[in-house]
């Protein structure tokens, strides 16, 4: 017996789930929104290998990308020994805020995503964040994905037919992207690996995911390149592709399994990093720890800023799961005020805590910070004591960072990004005037005021005094500079070698604290303006960031990365750890050391036995003593020339670069035109004795920007042509308001509770409009016309229980919904936040056979996360329907119940089968056990960690980890007439009457591809308790 939702939900499920509006991409009822706050007028330029799309004033960014990509392509192509089969589309956005509006993928894009490469069309989508070095890195990083996708899946039809598709592990795909774009390891990755190795939280490669996959993978491939030769990276890919197995390809290429490689690499890390413990200091050895991310479950506590009175620190923290601005005590770190709660509303969608700081007003009463506000960065001023935002300023920038309040209390300086430039701007609070301080292609950031308010110190990758500008783009090496606001002049601050940034001017005006990586680790340095000397005041094992001075200049607050998270520390002894004439010892990475030959290396004879091509040439070992990206000529040994490579392609005929340039030497600019190309083409066919030959097809098309989407799905039966099923759908999502339309025709057979065979032909159309107000709230409007033609098969079962042979019903349906959702997800369901949906439904009587009703219902859910381990979940839902044929609400059971139990009732009428509502969960009862045109439901769950790991060997080898336990209470009712509803009976022994309840416990396991749920429930009327009922079901918790 099929369980069927109302047909307008069926249509929405088929169409919206497959090619959904962004508002519906996460689930059908709730979900956050991807908002298109602006329209984009796309153009593109071309190079030999790329089509680069840009908009408005983005030509200079596109030109930079063109040059960078072609240079990076030579490197990646050489590393992989592979050339692109077809051109790669590159889509560039001016800022992360605008990048998050892209429709190339349906998923919501969070702030920590720096770019992505979409597999089907091999589209690369990247934002510019103000730093050309970051832009270069991400372009190169994503280009490696584009080449690997083209290499492995370029001919998607051949791959599917030949079953040649396999999945690379995340550590390899992202690790190679980082390895190639960072030219081996980088000092920040070195910090993370050093911390993970010493503090024992490295994840074995076979279980690796998340951000660590990027950095561990980068380290592993650096190790492979140094130990076995960089050409082994390509060989691993090639052999994996040929063997349709990464583990087999890895073994064939280097003679090691994934487990063996992991063990060998981790031993090499320990040899390199553990001696550093005796040379560096842990942060708590030289500073007082004020926050404790391991205890409160946070990931970051950062960007500390002293109040003018020095008794408080303002910090960013995610200890509540959401990013917040907290004011803590400088004595013990206790929270004094929660000033700003971010990531819950459109006005404070993102506080940019990873990349932007904040600043106190001179009187200590207010804070200024940057937040994404309805699609655009804004400068906020908030009262600390009340938490009231008293000013919000927008200037039309693509991005804004790091505001600093001037000593006079009347000016705020910040870094702003516009038209591909990151410059310093000065805003006057009294006159409301904005002044641009710098205007060039260099990245200017982290401004800090001198105490007299006449000068600024800031970080920039501009040319130093005396350096020649040999090219237009000079970027990536940050140093410190002084800006004289009176003379309007910039001078270099001789802060020393390395990348120098995040400066903080001392209140006495004689010193500047800043961060420098000159020894391979981000340490705090002091520049003495009187003596023009610089010296370190930390020698930390991991990294220090964002120093802030106390008002007397005798304390420094800073954040430090240690044990996999960021915490705030307070340093009172600001003295160099060494004599001022001595430098901090460089790290092994900084010295260019390479990994020693591991003790667990597979013997050469074993390697040769497994594969003669997997052993490195004898004279190759000396070639990998540094990070070298060799040219084809340098790496083209006879051994490599004879290496079989089924994916090696001959150089395709390329146009001369001049073909893409105009007579002035600039790229020819083309306007983007709408063109549909396939996203997915799938099909199947077979033979059935009853239906004959059966064919199924699924076609999805979109334009390059993903703004227009078409979905077509068909089923064809040659033996029953009248049963052809068809669904077609189109959506347009380029504007703030999303539009969709669809049509369908289906015919299926059913057997009802009296064993009568009947068919239902369902046909109709739907249009939908979705208007998001912010990431968290939207208004949905949909209208549909649905027809159902029913015909019974006249047989013995029908004659025993006759009804009209044919029936036909139609409905014109309109619904309007207000939806809010700001929840955060855990492993098996929401863990924090709230969501609600309120819906009005109207089906007018437009035909004699029409179904007419009106309904109003709501669903509110609230989640609390405490002690980082436990959750409370509440849900309250209710609704009512009225009219000529009001909807019936069925209550009982649990969603996605495996092998469910049903109560026999008239669920097979057209009205109930297609237009009823199924309300769950009400555990302890069967599906359809209670029904009425009104309903109410209350759910409460306590969710807790239950089983850390559970392993089975027989009959299946299965390991369940991080199983969640729940305790629950459900109560609900469904009724028709209000006058007849009676919640309880107080006569004699008090008991529930029309309200039905149950309690119980259960467990949830996330299996990676689905969530398995088990519940045990006891129904009760508070006077008696029934026998337990057991439920196995699928899906996330409510």
The 10s digit of each residue's pLDDT in 65-78 is 999 999 999 999 99
Residue linked to tokens 């981000």? 522
- What's the whole-number mean pLDDT along residues 1011-1038? 95
**pLDDT bucket at 1009, cuts 50 / 70 / 90:** confident
**pLDDT bucket at 466, cuts 50 / 70 / 90:** low
- Lowest mean pLDDT, pick from 338-352, 504-518, 533-547, 951-965: 951-965
**pLDDT bucket at 635, cuts 50 / 70 / 90:** very low
Q: What is the pLDDT of residue 345?
A: 93
Percentage above 70 pLDDT, the chain: 88
Token pair recorded at residue 624: 């990998």
- What's the whole-number mean pLDDT along residues 1002-1009? 91
Q: Where are the alpha helices (DSSP H) in 613-670?
A: 632-635, 638-641
Q: Is residue 426 predicted with pLDDT exceeding 90?
A: yes
Q: What is the pLDDT of residue 378?
A: 97
pLDDT in tens, 889-902: 999 999 999 988 88
- What's the whole-number mean pLDDT along residues 869-886? 95
Number of neighbouring beta carbons within 10 Å of residue 432: 8
Domain 283-464+474-576, CATH class in plain words: mainly beta
Q: Is residue 618 predicted with pLDDT exceeding 60?
A: no
pLDDT in tens, 375-397: 999 999 999 999 999 999 999 99
Distance CA 368, CA 360 (A): 6
**pLDDT bucket at 983, cuts 50 / 70 / 90:** confident
Quickly list DSSP for 194-233: HHHHHTT-PPPGGG--SHHHHHHHHHHHHHHHHHH-THHH
- What's the whole-number mean pLDDT along residues 879-885? 94
Q: Is the peptide bond before 1022 cis (omega within 30 degrees of 0)?
A: no
Please tell me whether residue 736 adopts helix, strand or coil conformation: coil
**pLDDT bucket at 718, cuts 50 / 70 / 90:** low
Residue linked to tokens 């030497």? 665
Quickly list DSSP for 767-779: EEEEEESSSSEEE
Q: What is the pLDDT of residue 692?
A: 65
Query: Interior CA angle at 520 toward 514 and 526, to 5°?
Result: 20
Domain with CATH 2.120.10.30 in the chain: 283-464+474-576
Q: CA neighbours within 13 Å on the CB side: how many for 221?
A: 34
Can you say how many angstroms the Cα of residue 508 is from the centroid of all Cα atoms in its chain?
Answer: 44
Q: Is residue 610 predicted with pLDDT exceeding 50?
A: no
**pLDDT bucket at 469, cuts 50 / 70 / 90:** low
Instruction: Give yes or no for a contact between 215 and 195, defined as CB atoms under 8 angstroms apart.
Output: no
Distance CA 930, CA 917 (A): 12
Q: Is residue 572 predicted with pLDDT exceeding 80?
A: yes
Q: Is residue 630 predicted with pLDDT exceeding 50?
A: no
Instruction: Give yes or no for a contact between 316 and 330, defined as CB atoms under 8 angstroms apart.
Output: no
Distance CA 317, CA 300 (A): 6
Instruction: Give yes or no for a contact between 311 and 554, defined as CB atoms under 8 angstroms apart.
Output: no
Q: Is residue 962 predicted with pLDDT exceeding 60?
A: yes
Q: Is residue 513 predicted with pLDDT exceeding 90?
A: yes
**pLDDT bucket at 688, cuts 50 / 70 / 90:** low
Distance CA 696, CA 687 (A): 12
Domain with CATH 2.40.160.50 in the chain: 826-832+849-1038
**pLDDT bucket at 867, cuts 50 / 70 / 90:** confident
Q: Is residue 632 predicted with pLDDT exceeding 80?
A: no
- pTM for this entry: 0.89
Q: What is the pLDDT of residue 625?
A: 26
Q: Is residue 81 predicted with pLDDT exceeding 50?
A: yes
Which CATH number, 3.30.420, 3.40.30, 3.90.1170, 3.40.50, labels domain 40-165+650-673? 3.40.30
**pLDDT bucket at 649, cuts 50 / 70 / 90:** very low
Q: What is the pLDDT of residue 11?
A: 37
Q: What is the pLDDT of residue 926?
A: 94
Please tell me whether residue 681 adopts helix, strand or coil conformation: strand
Residue linked to tokens 């009982």? 892
Beta strands in 419-542 (DSSP E): 421-428, 433-436, 444-449, 455-460, 479-484, 489-492, 500-505, 511-516, 523-528, 533-536
Q: Is residue 616 predicted with pLDDT exceeding 50?
A: no
Q: Is residue 987 predicted with pLDDT exceeding 90?
A: no
Q: What is the pLDDT of residue 651?
A: 45
The radius of gyration of the chain's CA atoms, rounded to the nearest angstrom, is 32
Q: What is the pLDDT of residue 608?
A: 32
pLDDT in tens, 301-314: 999 999 999 999 99
Instruction: Give yes or no for a contact between 157 and 143, defined as CB atoms under 8 angstroms apart.
Output: no
Instruction: Give yes or no for a contact between 766 and 8, defined as CB atoms under 8 angstroms apart.
Output: yes
What residues contact residue 272 under an 8 Å CB cut-off, 6+ apart?
588, 593, 595
Instruction: Give yes or no for a contact between 302 and 546, defined as CB atoms under 8 angstroms apart.
Output: yes
Instruction: Give yes or no for a contact between 587 and 539, defined as CB atoms under 8 angstroms apart.
Output: no
Please tell me whether residue 892 adopts helix, strand or coil conformation: coil
Token pair recorded at residue 770: 């979705």
Q: Is residue 620 predicted with pLDDT exceeding 50?
A: no
Average pLDDT of the chain?
Answer: 87
Distance CA 935, CA 876 (A): 11
- Lowest mean pLDDT, pick from 553-562, 772-781, 799-808, 998-1007: 799-808
Token pair recorded at residue 879: 């609704």
Domain with CATH 3.40.30 in the chain: 40-165+650-673
Distance CA 1005, CA 988 (A): 44
> End-to-end distance of the chain based on CA atoms, in angstroms?
25
**pLDDT bucket at 628, cuts 50 / 70 / 90:** very low
Distance CA 766, CA 780 (A): 13
Exposed e or buried b per residue across 818-839, where buried means at least 16 C-beta atoms within 10 angstroms of its C-beta? ebbbbbeebebbbbbbbbbbeb
Name 109's bridge partners: none
Q: Is residue 6 predicted with pLDDT exceeding 50?
A: no
799 class by beta-carbon count within 10 Å (0-12 exposed, 13-18 middle, 19+ buried): exposed
Distance CA 541, CA 278 (A): 10
What does CATH list as the number for 826-832+849-1038? 2.40.160.50
What residues contact residue 913 under an 8 Å CB cut-off, 6+ apart?
4, 760, 907
Instruction: Give yes or no for a contact between 574 and 526, defined as CB atoms under 8 angstroms apart.
Output: yes
Q: What is the pLDDT of residue 160?
A: 44
Distance CA 283, CA 949 (A): 33
Q: Is residue 21 predicted with pLDDT exceeding 70?
A: no
């Amino acid at each position: 017996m099929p369980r069927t939702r109302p047909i307008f939900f069926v249509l929405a499920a088929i169409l919206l789930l497959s090619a959904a509006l962004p508002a519906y991409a996460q689930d059908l009822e709730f979900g956050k929104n991807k908002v298109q706050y602006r329209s984009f007028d796309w153009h593109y330029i071309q190079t030999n290998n790329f089509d680069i799309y840009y908009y408005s004033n983005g030509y200079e960014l596109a030109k930079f990308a063109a040059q960078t990509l072609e240079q990076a392509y030579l490197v990646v192509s050489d590393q992989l020994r592979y050339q692109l089969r077809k051109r790669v589309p590159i889509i560039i956005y001016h800022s992360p805020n605008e990048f998050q509006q892209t429709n190339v993928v349906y998923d919501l894009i969070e702030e920590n995503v720096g770019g992505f490469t979409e597999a089907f069309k091999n589209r690369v989508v990247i934002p510019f964040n103000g730093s050309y070095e970051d832009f270069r890195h991400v372009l190169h990083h994503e280009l490696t994905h584009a080449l690997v996708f083209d290499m492995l899946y370029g001919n998607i039809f051949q791959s599917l037919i030949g079953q040649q598709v396999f999945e690379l592990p995340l550590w390899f795909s992202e690790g190679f992207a980082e390895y190639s774009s960072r030219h081996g390891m980088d000092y920040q990755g070195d910090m993370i690996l050093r911390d993970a190795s010493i503090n024992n939280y490295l994840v074995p490669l076979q279980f690796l995911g998340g951000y660590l996959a990027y950095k561990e993978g980068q380290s592993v491939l650096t190790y492979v390149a140094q130990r076995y030769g960089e050409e082994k990276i390509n060989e691993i890919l090639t052999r994996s592709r040929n063997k349709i197995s990464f583990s087999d390809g890895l073994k064939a290429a280097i003679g090691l399994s994934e487990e063996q490689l992991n063990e060998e690499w981790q031993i090499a890390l320990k040899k390199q990093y553990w001696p550093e413990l005796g040379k560096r200091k842990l942060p708590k050895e030289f500073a007082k720890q004020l926050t404790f991310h391991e205890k409160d479950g946070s990931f970051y506590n950062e960007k500390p800023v002293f109040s003018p009175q020095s008794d408080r620190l303002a910090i960013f923290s995610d200890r509540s799961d959401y990013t917040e601005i907290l004011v803590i005590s400088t004595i013990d770190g206790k929270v004094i005020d929660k000033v700003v709660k971010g990531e819950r509303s459109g006005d404070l969608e993102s506080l940019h805590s990873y990349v932007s700081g904040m600043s106190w007003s001179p009187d200590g009463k207010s804070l200024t910070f940057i937040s994404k506000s309805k699609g655009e960065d804004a400068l906020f001023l908030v009262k600390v004591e009340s938490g009231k935002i008293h000013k919000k300023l927008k200037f039309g920038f693509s991005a804004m960072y790091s505001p600093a309040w001037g000593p006079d209390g009347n000016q705020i300086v910040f870094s702003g990004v516009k038209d591909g430039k990151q410059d310093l701007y000065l805003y006057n609070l009294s006159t409301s005037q904005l002044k641009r301080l710098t205007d060039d292609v260099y990245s200017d950031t982290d401004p800090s005021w001198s105490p007299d308010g006449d000068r600024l110190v800031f970080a920039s990758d501009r040319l130093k005094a005396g350096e020649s500008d040999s090219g237009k783009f000079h970027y990536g090496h940050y140093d410190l500079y002084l800006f004289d606001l009176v003379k309007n002049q910039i001078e270099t601050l001789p802060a020393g070698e390395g990348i120098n940034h995040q400066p903080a001017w001392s209140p006495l005006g004689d010193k500047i604290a800043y961060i420098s990586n000159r020894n391979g680790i981000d340490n705090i340095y002091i520049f003495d303006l009187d003596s023009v000397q610089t010296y370190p005041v930390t020698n930390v094992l991991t990294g220090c960031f964002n120093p802030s001075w106390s008002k007397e200049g005798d304390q420094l607050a800073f954040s430090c990365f240690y044990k996999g998270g960021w915490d705030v520390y307070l340093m009172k002894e600001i003295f160099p750890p060494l004599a001022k004439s001595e430098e901090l010892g460089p790290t092994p990475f900084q010295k260019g050391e390479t990994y020693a030959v591991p003790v667990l290396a597979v013997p050469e004879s074993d390697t040769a036995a497994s594969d003669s091509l997997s052993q490195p040439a004898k004279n190759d070992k000396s070639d990998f003593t540094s990070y070298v990206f060799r040219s084809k000529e340098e790496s083209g040994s006879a051994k490599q020339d004879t290496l079989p490579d089924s994916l090696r392609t001959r150089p395709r005929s390329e146009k001369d670069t001049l073909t893409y340039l105009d007579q002035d030497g600039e790229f020819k600019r083309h306007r983007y035109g709408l063109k549909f190309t396939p996203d997915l083409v799938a099909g199947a066919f077979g033979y059935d004795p009853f239906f004959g030959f059966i064919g199924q097809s699924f076609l999805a098309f979109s334009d390059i920007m993903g703004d227009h989407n078409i979905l077509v799905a068909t089923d064809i039966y040659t033996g029953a042509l009248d049963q052809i099923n068809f669904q077609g759908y189109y959506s347009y999502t380029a504007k703030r308001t999303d539009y969709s339309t669809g049509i369908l025709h289906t015919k299926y057979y059913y057997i009802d509770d009296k064993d009568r065979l009947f068919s239902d032909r369902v046909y109709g159309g739907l249009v939908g409009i979705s208007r998001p107000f912010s990431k968290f709230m939207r208004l949905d409007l949909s209208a549909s016309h649905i027809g159902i033609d029913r015909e019974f098969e006249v047989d013995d079962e029908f004659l025993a229980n006759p009804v009209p042979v044919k029936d036909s019903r139609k409905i014109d349906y309109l619904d309007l919904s207000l939806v809010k959702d700001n929840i955060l997800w855990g492993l098996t369901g929401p863990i924090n936040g709230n969501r609600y949906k309120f819906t009005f439904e109207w089906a007018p009587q437009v035909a004699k056979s029409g179904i007419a009703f009106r309904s109003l219902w709501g669903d509110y859910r609230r989640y609390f996360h405490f002690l980082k381990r436990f959750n409370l979940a509440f849900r309250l839902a209710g609704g009512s329907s009225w009219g000529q044929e009001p909807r019936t609400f069925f209550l009982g059971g649990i969603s996605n119940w495996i092998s469910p139990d049903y109560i026999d009732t008239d669920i097979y009428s057209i009205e109930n089968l297609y237009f009823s509502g199924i309300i769950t969960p009400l555990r302890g009862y069967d599906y359809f056990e209670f029904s009425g045109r009104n309903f109410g439901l209350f759910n409460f769950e306590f969710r807790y960690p239950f089983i850390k790991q559970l392993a089975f060997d027989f009959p299946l080898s299965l390991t369940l980890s991080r199983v969640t336990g729940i305790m629950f209470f459900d109560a609900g009712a469904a009724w028709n007439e209000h006058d007849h509803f009676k919640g309880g009976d107080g006569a004699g022994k008090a008991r529930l009457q029309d309200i039905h309840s149950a309690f119980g416990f259960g467990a949830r396991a996330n299996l990676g591809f689905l969530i398995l749920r088990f519940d045990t429930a006891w129904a009760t009327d508070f006077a008696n308790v029934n026998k337990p009922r057991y439920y196995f079901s699928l899906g996330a918790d409510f």
